[in-house]
Structure 1
């Protein structure tokens, strides 16, 4: 009898503490289920166009690149704004080299980024501003800065983030993604970085939830036992 009193009391207080978080888990989980993941990723906003390489327009060879830019650790040939370019890496430094003239064309300027965004964007808005970002906002995580942020004038407040050194589209962000990030923060209970799914707070909440369920199960069996005795 005494044990039932304390288990019931613990069950009540654990329920009060964990109930709010359980509700947040359900709400955030529902959002993640309802909104398709490809929409969250912004696949509907921009498609990077693919263009065929044209060897006839290429004058700079890879051997010449290694002579002109010693210490190359990675090299990739691609098409950017209708031109063939080499993307080279020297340690942590990335550069773009015109495959015809051999000229370094990075970091890309505002007009080049606007052209890249226009070629990739498939939404309904128009560019309302292009921002040079030197301090990474929360929504781009640990991606290296600086970045070009291309903001669009449309209800979803879409933003395309480009690397000025590689010309790559590194992130697509919009309101549905931002809401996802917000509810994800509550789902994993990481209120700072929103990335750590093994944080102490989540462990404590999970253990408390388990204790709530086990105490409830114990009380259920206890009530049945009491009925049999009666």
Structure 2
């Protein structure tokens, strides 16, 4: 019985050794730095205070029969204060506070660049602006939103929602490495979101069995050594 368990323990060690090594390395990498640094909190400027308009703001026309509205709020942008109408489907529109009229459905490159520069607290210069559709987000965004990517220097990305002007994310080279390690940790390098899939579950079961067999074998080996010592005495 002991020999059988020992053989299984060895084979399971070979099978479970690789995922255990990957879990250890990726886990160690992910805890190496504070999560605030990973999220780029130090690169985010403080949100601007909403300027008090000289005249009472004109509320935008809302037609919930066409598109369900989740909320309407004021937001401060580099070009001035705007209404942000947020819809239940996740989209949004901007509107003027002076007239209540809706602004263009999509931000221009210059508008997005202004928002990104105001939100970025780093030292790197703005190098490039690139727009992505909702179904073609880059790997370091994955929000399912149309967005402008403002690249600062070689590695800092600030993502601005192309409809609302919201700053969706600030990404760094370390965040992308962290994201890769997270995908490695949960064994989902494509979407990096699925924490319950066959490969991960089977690997965890193999590691558990290897640990249990080892816990069973260890007392037997200890008792065998003790008996040998007693006989020698």
TM-score by length of 1: 0.88
RMSD: 1.8
State the distance in 1 between where 2:86 and 2:112 align: 20
Deviates more, 1:77-86 or 1:212-221: 77-86
Equivalent of 2:76 in 76, 79, 94:
79
- Aligned with 2:43: secondary structure? coil
Do residues 70 (structure 1) and 63 (structure 2) align? yes
8 Å Cα contact 2:160-2:168 kept in structure 1: yes
8 Å Cα contact 1:53-1:78 kept in structure 2: no
Residue in 1 aligned with 2:146? 146
Equivalent of 1:52 in 50, 53, 67:
50
Do residues 166 (structure 1) and 164 (structure 2) align? yes
Deviates more, 1:194-203 or 1:49-58: 49-58
State the distance in 2 between where 1:149 and 1:136 align: 10
Q: Which runs of 5+ in 1 are unaligned?
A: none
Residue in 2 aligned with 1:126? 125
State the distance in 1 between where 2:87 and 2:118 align: 28
State the distance in 2 between where 1:103 and 1:41 align: 36
Number of residues of Structure 1 aligned to a counterpart in Structure 2: 220
> Counterparts in 2 of 1:160-199, with a 5 A limit?
160-199=158-197
TM-score by length of 2: 0.87
State the distance in 1 between where 2:46 and 2:148 align: 16
What's the offset of the Cα at 1:50?
2.0
Residue in 2 aligned with 1:137? 138
Residues 142-179 of structure 1: CA deviation (Å, up to 9, x unaligned): x133210001114xx01011101111000111110010
Residue in 2 aligned with 1:23? 21
State the distance in 2 between where 1:171 and 1:198 align: 26
Q: Which runs of 5+ in 2 are unaligned?
A: 229-233
State the distance in 2 between where 1:90 and 1:220 align: 61
What's the offset of the Cα at 1:100?
1.2
8 Å Cα contact 2:116-2:159 kept in structure 1: no
